[in-house]
Structure 1
Amino acid sequence: MSAEPSPSSTEATSGELTEPGSETTKSWRFYLIIATLSLIAFASALEGSVIAIALPQITHELSAGDNYVWIASSYLVAQTAIQPLCAQLSNILGRRNLMVFSIAVFAFGSGIAGGATDAPFLIAGRTVQGLGSGGVMMLIELIICDLVPLRERGKYLGYVQSPTAIGAIVGPVVGGALATANWRWIFYLNIPIAGIAMIIMIIFLRLNHEKPRSWKQAVLRVDWIGNAIFVASICSLLVGLVFGGTVYAWSSWRVILPVVLGACGWLCFHVYEWKPPAFCKEVSIPPRIFANRTSVAGFYIDFVSSMLLQWVAFFWPIYFQGTRGTSPLKAGIYFIPFEAFLLTTAVVAGGLLTKLGHYRPLHLVGFVLSTLGPGLNILLSDSTPKVVWVWFQIVDSIGRGILLPTTLPAIMASLPDSDAAAITGIDSAVRGTLQNGRAYQFVSGEYVQALPPAVKAEVITVYLRALRAVWIGAVAFGATGLVAVLVEKHIPLRTELDTKYGLKHEEEKATTVEHGTIDTRTLEG
C-alpha cells in the first residue's frame, strides 16, 4: 500500500486563494461558474427524475415495450463508456472546450429523442444524450476539484447538487404531467438550459492547463487503444447484463457471450493500462489510482451507491403505477419524498464533511440506511398505507443522500490532485401481452386496470413478486458497500489546492502565438 502523497503548497494559478491552509477566498467569477455547473446539473437531475416517471408512458405510446430495456439503458451505457476518454481529453484540450462540446452533444441528443417517432429513433437520441451527459457529469466534479481544495469539495459538491434538488423534486411532477400531455417536451426542455450554460462557460470558464505544442502531440497523448478496449468491453458487458433476465434467460448464449467477452475485455484493458506499449504516451486510467485500499474501497462505494440509486429510482414508479394503479402524474407526486430528502441530505452531508473532515462515519451511516431502505420495501403490498411507504422512501433516500457528496473526497484523499481526471400464473393471452419487456409498456396504461378482477389480482401479484426480487437484490449489493466502508481508512482531507488546472488570473491576457505552437484560443481550457 502506497503512502499518502504529501500536499504541496498551493499554486497561485487562479488568484482565488489566500495563504496555505486557510479558507479560500472566492471571486464573483468563481460563484458564477458554480451557479452554471448547478444549472447544467439541474438539467441532468430533471432528465433523470422525469424519465423515470414517464418512461412507461413513452413506451406505451410508441408501442416499444420490447425495447423498454434499451430505452432505459442506452443512456447509462453511453454515459459510462465515454468517461475515461473524456477525462483524458480534458487534461489535453482543457476542461472548458470539452465541457462546452459535451453540453452541445447533450442538447443535440435531447433534440433527437424529442423528435423520435419509433423506438430505434428514441434509443439513438438517448445514446447521444448519454454521451454528452457522461462528459458533463464527469467534468462538473472535475472542475470543482480544480477550483477548491479537498477539504472543501464536499461542501461545493453539495452546493452544486442543491439546485438539482429543485429539478429532482419537480421532475416527477413535471414528468408525470408531460407524459400525460406531450412527453416530447421532457427532452426539448434541455435545449434552452444547455444553451445558457454553454454561453456562460465559453465566456467565463477559463482554466489553466498544459497545452500541447501541436495538434500532433495532442493526438499522440490520447490513449486510443486503451479507450477502444474499454468502450467495447463495457458495452459488451452491459449489453449482457441488460438483456439477462428480461429479453433473454440468463442461461442464453446471447447473455453469456457478451458478459464473458466484456469481462475478458475489461481485464485486458487493465493489463494494457498497467504495461502500456512504448507508443502509448499517457494511459487513460493510471494503475496508481488503485494502489491503496482507501481509493479501491472508495471506487467500489461509488459504484455500488450510484448503481443502487438508479436501481431504486426506476422501480418506485413501477410500484406505484403497476400495483397501485396510479397515473404517471400521481406516481411522480408520490415519488417526491424520495427525491426531496435525497438532495437535501446531500447538501447537509457535504457541509458535515467539510466541517468534520471524516468520511468513514458518513459512509457507514449512509450504507446502513440505504441497505435498510430496500429491505423495508420488501414489505410493500398493493395496500400499504401511504404513511408507511413515504417513510420507506425517506429512510432509503437519506442513506443515499449521505453517500452522494462524500465518496469522491474519500477517493481523492489518498491520491494527488493531479489524478482528479482519472478518478470520477396468468392466462396465456395476458402472459403473451406482458412478456419480453412489455410489462413496462402496459404498467402506466389502462391495460392492467381493465383486466377481469381475478386476472388483475394475479398480474399485480406478479409485479409485487418481481419488485420484491428487485428490493432483495438492492439489499444484497448495499451490504457489500458496508464491507467496503470497513476496508477504507481515515486520511485527513487536504485544505490546500495543488492543481495545474485552476482559474486563470482575471487580468491574464491571451498568450501571443509563437511559431510551432497552437493558438491558445484554440486549446484554451
Structure 2
Amino acid sequence: MTSEEPNRSLMASAPASSSRTKEDATSDTWKPQGYRFWLILASLCLIVFIATLDGSIIIIALPLISRELKASGNYIWIANSFQLAQTVIQPLCAQLCNIYGRRNPMLVSIAIFALGSGLAGGATTTSMMIAGRTVQGLGSGSILMLVELVICDLVPLRQRGTYLGIVMSGGAFGAVLGPVVGGALATTNWRWIFYMNLPICAVIFPAIAWLLRVQYTKEPTWARALTRIDWIGSFIFISSSCAIMLGLVFGGSEYPWSSWRVILPLVLGFFGGIGFFFYEGSTFCKEPSVPPRIFTNRTSVSGFYIIFISSVTLQWVCLFWPIYFQGVRWTSPLRSGINFIPFQVFLIVIAVVAGVLLTKYGLYRPLHFIGFSLGMLGTGLNTTLSRQTSTPVWVVYQAIYASGQALLTPTILPAILASLSEADVAAATGVYSFLRSFGWVWGLTIPGVIFDSRFDHSSSHISDAEIRHTLQNGGAYEAAGGEYVKSIPPVVQDQVVSTYVDALKIVWIVAIALNATGMLMVLVEKHIPLRQELDTTFGLDTKGEKGEVNTELARGDVDGTESK
C-alpha cells in the first residue's frame, strides 16, 4: 500500500464494532457516554501515574539501595533492567491484545507489575532486586502501551489527542514526583518505594476487571489462540533489542566503546533487527506482530521517526538540566529536582492544550512543526546558560522547550494512525510505544558520551592535575551535585565551572540538530483528515447496562466479550 489513505480492504475484512449509541450515530461530534468511560479514564490515569513514578523514583534512592544490598558494580542493572524489560515487551503485548482482547492483558500486566514490586521491596540480594525490577519493567511496559491502546478503542481518532493528553499528564506528574518521593522514602525505609505500589494495584485491579469489559473476537480454544502468536518474530525482536540495549548500557560505563563487549551486541542487534523485518514480511510469518504494511506510507513512517527522536531529545534535556544545576550552580540533587519542576508543569499543562487543539482543528502537522521549532529554540537558548543566569531566565528556557515537547506528546500517535486501518491500531501502538521507550535509552546514552568526551577535551584548562584526573572519564557527571565539587579550592572552582559550561554547550548544540531532523520529518508528513467516527472491534461491551444501548458487532453477533 503506497497511498496515505487507510487500507479500506483491511477495515472491511475486520468486523466493525458499532460501539456508539444510536444518538451518537446521528451526531457529527462524538461525546463520551456513560459513567464507565470516566471511571476507566480515571483508572488509566492512576495506573500510568504509578508506572511512570516507578521509573523515576529509584534515581535518588539507588545509591542507598546499592550500599545496603552490596551491589557494587551491579548497581547499574538495578536501574537498567527495568528500562530494558519495559522496552522490549511492547510489540508482543500489542499482538496479544489483538488475540485476547484488552482487559485480560491489562489485568495480567497489573499483576506482573505488583509481583515485581513485591520482589523488589523484599529483595535481600542484588540478584533478587534485579529480578524484581525486570518483572516490574515487563508490567510497566505493557501497562503504558495498553493505556494508549484502550484510549484508541474508546475514543475516535479526532478526539484522541485530548484524552491522550489527559492520561499522559498523569505520567508526567509521576515523573515529577518520582525523585521527590524517592528521596523522602529513602530517608525512612527504601523498601516502601516498591511496597507502596501494592495497595494501589490492589485498588486498580478490581476496578479494571469491573469496568474494562470490551468486545473482541474470541478464539474457540486456547490452543488456537496460541498458534496466532508470532513466536519466532517476537524471539528475534526481543533478542536483537536486548543486544542493542546491552551494548548501550555497557558502552562508556562498564567497558570502553571500542571494546568487543560493546561492539558485538550492537552489531548482532543491528543485523537481528534487519532479519526481524525480513521475517515479518515473509510467507513464513502467518500473523506478524509488526506488520510491514504499517511502514508503507510516508505519514506513518514520519510519525514513527518523530516519536523516536522526540523521546531521545526529551530524555536528553531531562538528563542534563539537573547536571547544569548541580555542576554549574552547585545545588544539591534534591534542589535541582525542585528547580526542574517548572519544566514538568509546562509539559503537563500544554500537553492537555495540544490535545484540545488537535480535537478542535484536526491539524497535527502545525503542532509538530511548532513543537520542534520550540525544541530548537529552547535547546539553543540553553547554550547561553552560565552560573550567573538568573532564575526567571532559566525558568523561561525550561518553559519554551517543555511547551514544544508538550505539543508533540499527545499528537504523534493520532498522526500515525490517521494513515492506517483501525485493524492496525494495536500493532502501530505497540511499535509507537517501543520506539518511545527505545528513544529514552538513546537519550540517556548519546548525550552522556558527548558530555564526557567534551569535558575531557576541555579539562586541560583545569590547573590542578589531581582534580582534572578525578573529573575525567565520566567523573564530572558522577561528581555533579556531590560534596567533591564543593570541596574544590576557590582558585580552581571557576575553571571547573567553565569546563562544565563548555561541555554542556556541546550537548545542547547536538540537541538542536536532532530537533532539526524532527522538523524535516514533519515536512514529509501528509495531512490526512482524522476520522470522527469510532469504528472498532474492541468497543465497550454495554450489553444489559441500564440507560445504555446494547452494542453488537457488524456481523450480527458478539463472537466474544471479555465480560464472559
Normalised to the residue count of structure 2, the TM-score between the two structures is: 0.83
Distance in 1 separating the partners of 2:317 and 2:58: 14
In structure 2, what residue type is equivalent to 1:349?
A
Q: Which moved more, 1:388-397 or 1:407-416?
A: 388-397
In structure 2, what residue type is equivalent to 1:375?
G
Q: Which moved more, 1:213-222 or 1:38-47?
A: 38-47
Counterpart in the other structure of 1:422: 427
Distance in 2 separating the partners of 1:241 and 1:258: 9
**Which one of the candidate residues 313, 333, 354 is aligned to 2:359?**
354
Structure 2: gaps (5+ residues): 430-458, 547-558
Q: Give the count of matched residue pairs.
A: 513
**Which one of the candidate residues 465, 472, 489 is aligned to 2:526?**
489
Counterpart in the other structure of 2:98: 91
In structure 1, what residue type is equivalent to 2:229?
V
Q: Which moved more, 1:52-61 or 1:104-113?
A: 52-61
Preserved CA contact (<8 Å) 1:364 1:482: yes
Counterpart in the other structure of 1:308: 313
1:450 matches 2:487:
yes
In structure 1, what residue type is equivalent to 2:522?
V
Distance in 2 separating the partners of 1:120 and 1:431: 36
Preserved CA contact (<8 Å) 2:18 2:536: no
1:35-434 aligned at under 5 Å gives the runs 35-52=42-59, 66-67=73-74, 69-116=76-123, 120-164=127-171, 166-277=173-284, 280-424=285-429, 425=459
Structure 1: gaps (5+ residues): 510-518
Preserved CA contact (<8 Å) 2:217 2:560: no
Counterpart in the other structure of 2:551: none
In structure 2, what residue type is equivalent to 1:391?
V
- C-alpha change, 1:308 and 1:487, in structure 2 (3 Å) is same
Q: Which moved more, 1:452-461 or 1:200-209?
A: 452-461
Counterpart in the other structure of 2:3: 2
Query: What is the CA-CA distance between 1:464 and the residue it aligns to?
Result: 4.0
In structure 1, what residue type is equivalent to 2:225?
A
Counterpart in the other structure of 1:18: 24
In structure 1, what residue type is equivalent to 2:214?
L
In structure 1, what residue type is equivalent to 2:5?
E
- C-alpha change, 1:190 and 1:117, in structure 2 (3 Å) is same
SS in 2 for 1:199: helix
- C-alpha change, 1:70 and 1:477, in structure 2 (3 Å) is farther
- C-alpha change, 1:245 and 1:380, in structure 2 (3 Å) is farther
Distance in 2 separating the partners of 1:429 and 1:59: 27
Q: Percent identity at matched positions? A: 57
Distance in 2 separating the partners of 1:153 and 1:247: 42
- C-alpha change, 1:123 and 1:477, in structure 2 (3 Å) is farther
Preserved CA contact (<8 Å) 2:18 2:535: no
1:501 matches 2:538:
yes
In structure 1, what residue type is equivalent to 2:17?
E
Counterpart in the other structure of 2:516: 479
Distance in 2 separating the partners of 1:59 and 1:22: 54
- C-alpha change, 1:366 and 1:53, in structure 2 (3 Å) is farther
Preserved CA contact (<8 Å) 2:30 2:156: no
1:441-460 deviation digits (Å, cap 9, x = unpaired): 55444233234445655555
Distance in 2 separating the partners of 1:463 and 1:73: 26
Query: What is the CA-CA distance between 1:163 and the residue it aligns to?
Result: 3.8
Preserved CA contact (<8 Å) 1:99 1:139: yes
Q: Which moved more, 1:253-262 or 1:400-409?
A: 253-262
1:251-280 deviation digits (Å, cap 9, x = unpaired): 222222111111100010000001141xx4
What RMSD in Å do the two structures reach over aligned CA positions? 3.0
In structure 1, what residue type is equivalent to 2:273?
W
Query: What is the CA-CA distance between 1:478 and the residue it aligns to?
Result: 1.4
In structure 2, what residue type is equivalent to 1:474?
A
Counterpart in the other structure of 1:512: none
1:2-39 deviation digits (Å, cap 9, x = unpaired): 24135779732465871164323411011111110011
Distance in 2 separating the partners of 1:432 and 1:199: 56
Preserved CA contact (<8 Å) 1:113 1:122: yes
Normalised to the residue count of structure 1, the TM-score between the two structures is: 0.88
Distance in 2 separating the partners of 1:143 and 1:455: 56
In structure 1, what residue type is equivalent to 2:241?
I
Preserved CA contact (<8 Å) 1:172 1:336: no
Distance in 2 separating the partners of 1:438 and 1:124: 29
